[in-house]
Structure 1
Amino acid sequence: MAASEQIKSLIKSFGQGDADRFFASAMQIAASEARQGHALFAQELKSLIEDARKNRSLSQLDRGKIVNISTQKRELSELLDVFQPRVTLADMVLSEDIGARLGKLINEQQKLELLLQHNLSPRRKLLLAGPPGTGKTMAAQAIAGELGIPVFIIRLDGILSKFMGESIAKLRMIFDLMPQQRAVYLFDEFDSIGSKRHQGHDVGEIKRILNSFLINIDRDNSNSIIIAATNLPEVLDTALFRRFDDILNFLLPDIEDTTLAVSKYTANFSFDRKASQNELMEAAQGLNFSEIAKACEETIKEMILSNGKKLRKDILLESLKKRKQKCL
């Protein structure tokens, strides 16, 4: 059987939480058993060790423990917003198509271990396109919320301004972080670096950043989720599109979406009847989800501050109209 020193080393490493040493000691015991002619037992040990190593790795991915960026990656602290979102897909108003496609990614991520056992990779690279306020950033947060992992929002404007000249190194550091910390990495306002490389007005630095992003996203084989969001998909370099597993186009809400949004944002309150539902929907038409949510929030505040018991539709109607005028 295994030598006493190997067993002591195994127990000691387990007690100290030294996983690498623990697995190394376990493999030494298996090798020792094989040398003593216990081939079947040694093979069983090796299989158990490999299964344990894989399961431990996968369980670590799902813990959602947030890396302390300010201490471990101080150079990135000015480029990243890191938090654990609580929002889920149920908090959003989504078209049937987008809801199904986001659900598919989440389902594959939740069954990551099963897919890996069959040498398959889950969807994890998304390009989200559409006008501002249509839910792109919230969708990234909802994915993280569903999976119980943090969101890392990369401030690309910081890469382009504060770190001009060293931006490629900063971008590489972000990709190096992905295998260490499973998270949703959101590259917001992606068109700031992803515009067509042949456009004459682009400075050389931006072209180099885009090329670096293409190289890094091709090399990346982490279990993190990479999301790029843009308001201007038409200006993106065509080389980008094939790097993503799926491209989702977010649209301004239609009448049905608007009705659902108002109902969701005011779900815990009742209304008086001083304005018709048709008037509300007409006033909200053309606004994005963000503006509708803010109008509902203003109406709720008005009720609270005036000691009212019901939301006033006339207040919501007026708020929606003002927001539409502001957007014209």
Structure 2
Amino acid sequence: MKQLIEEQHRADLLRAHGMQPRHRILLSGPPGNGKTSIAEAVAEALAVPFFTVRYDALVGSFLGETNTRLARLFDYARTVPCVLFFDEFDSIGKERGDSHETGEIKRVVSFLLMQIDRLPSYVVTVAATNHAELLDRAVWRRFELRLAMPLPSHEALAVFLDRQFEGWPQRPGVSANSLASKLGEISFAEALDFCQTVRRQHILSLANRELEDILREQVELWTSRVIATSDASRPSEAASTPKRSKRRPEAAIGRRRGTSKTL
């Protein structure tokens, strides 16, 4: 990502040598691990507007309507250097070989890929997906950077928690490494939610409760929730051996830098 930002900042030098900066990024992985944050960080580093594609205003019910709206979207994006962000990209860039999809969807995907190819290099396109396996095979070739965003490792989670502790009025009385072990395999977003819950409870206690006690209480609640979820997902004996039955049950664009605009 640092290389891409440097290429964008020094694009004139690259163009003087007949090359263009990279400007298409595909991010894949489970939710809550920073895909949207990376797109926003690129816009911040380049000091350009950040546009998010709204599928509810983009996909039409009539033949050819979606392609018309896509054309308007890309025509607008070309007018200014910006970061164009497609969240949940699999909802529009899905595999064309899927027999369950209609011909209209296949035409939309083909048109979308053609439009992405035609974007100038000063428009940084970032696509994010939680289901990389659903993307059309041709989508992957369109993006110069293809980065996986998996769940954080134990070490990365501990670093993230320690950074949260730095903003607290006092140390929690437990190491970030120990807390990471107790929370288990979670996303950065879940870890942030946990830390914010602890901080809220400490604020509401008006400093009448120790931060360490609140943290211990929240860890116990977290652990019980995880156990309950695990038990609920495990099939019961009765469910695993069903009784016999006589009958068989048959974008518009949202702009995030102070103002918003919709097409």
**Shorter-chain-normalised TM-score: which range?**
0.7 to 0.9
Counterpart CA distance in 2 for 1:284 and 1:155 is 34
Aligned 1:47-196 pairs, distance under 5 A: 102-160=1-59, 165-196=64-95
The Cα shift of 1:164 comes to 7.2
Residue 228 (1) aligns with residue 147 (2): no
SS at match of 2:166: coil
Retained in 1: the 8 A contact 2:151–2:185?
Answer: yes
2:199 aligned partner: 300
1:214 equivalent in alignment to 2:97: no
Shift of 1:236: 1.0
Q: Tell me how far apart the structure 1 counterparts of residues 88 and 228 of structure 2 sit (CA, whole Å).
A: 22
Select between 236-245 and 165-174 the one with higher mean Cα deviation.
165-174
Distance 1:315 1:288 in 2: 21
1:214 Cα deviation after fit: 0.9
Structure 1 residue runs of 5 or longer lacking an equivalent are: 1-101
How far, CA to CA, are the matches of 2:128 and 2:62 in structure 1?
21
Question: How many residues in Structure 1 have an aligned counterpart in Structure 2?
Answer: 226
Unaligned runs of 5+ in 2: 231-263
Shift of 1:105: 0.7
Q: Secondary structure at the match of 2:40?
A: helix
CA apart distance, 1:165: 4.8
Q: Offset of 1:207 from its aligned partner? A: 1.4
Match of 1:33 in 2: none
Q: Which amino acid aligns with 1:271?
A: R
Write the distance in 2 (CA, Å) between the matches of 1:141 and 1:128.
13
In 2, are the aligned partners of 1:190 and 1:229 still within 8 Å (CA)?
yes
1:287/1:324 contact within 8 Å kept: no
Amino acid across the alignment from 2:216? D
Deviation of the 1:219 alpha carbon = 1.7
Closer/same/farther in 2, CA of residues 162 and 257 from structure 1, 3 Å limit: farther
State the shift of 1:122 in Å.
Answer: 0.6
Deviation at 1:116, TM superposition (A): 2.2
Distance in 1 separating the partners of 2:12 and 2:221: 48
* Residue 161 (structure 2) pairs with residue 262 (structure 1): yes
Give the 3-state SS of the residue equivalent to 2:92 in structure 1. Answer: helix
Q: Offset at 1:222?
A: 4.5
CA distance in 2: counterparts of 1:116 and 1:320, whole angstroms: 53
Please, what TM-score do these two structures have when normalized by structure 1?
A: 0.63
- In the TM superposition, what is the alpha-carbon distance from 1:316 to its structure 2 partner? 4.6
**Cα pair 2:20 2:121 within 8 Å, conserved:** no
- The 2-side partners of 1:117 and 1:295 are apart by 50
In the TM superposition, residue 141 of structure 1 has moved relative to its aligned partner by: 0.6
Instruction: Report sequence identity in percent.
Output: 35
Q: Which amino acid aligns with 1:258?
A: L
Q: Secondary structure of the equivalent of 2:75?
A: helix
- Which residue number corresponds to residue 219 of structure 2? 317
Q: Secondary structure at the match of 2:167?
A: coil
| 2:154 aligned partner, one-letter code | I
C-alpha deviation, 1:234, in angstroms: 1.1
Closer/same/farther in 2, CA of residues 197 and 146 from structure 1, 3 Å limit: same
Q: CA offsets, 1:63-101, max 9 Å, x none?
A: xxxxxxxxxxxxxxxxxxxxxxxxxxxxxxxxxxxxxxx
Are 1:287 and 2:186 an aligned pair? yes
Counterpart of 1:317, as a letter, is: V
The match for 1:86 is none
One-letter identity of the residue aligned with 1:280: L
2: distance between equivalents of 1:221 and 1:196?
Answer: 25
Over aligned residues, Cα RMSD in angstroms?
2.3
Larger helix proportion of the pair? 1
Matched with 1:198 is 97
TM-score (ref. length: structure 2): 0.78
Give 1:299's aligned amino acid: V
| Aligned equivalent of 2:171 | 271
Structure with the larger RCO, 1 or 2 (CA within 8 Å, 6+ apart): 2
CA drift of 1:292 comes to: 0.6
Distance 1:122 1:277, change over 3 A: closer
Considering only CA atoms, is the larger Rg found in Structure 1 or Structure 2? 1
Give SS of 1:184's match.
strand
Amino acid at match of 2:172: D
Structure 2 equivalent of residue 19 of structure 1: none
Q: Is the 8 A contact 1:283 1:317 kept in 2?
A: yes
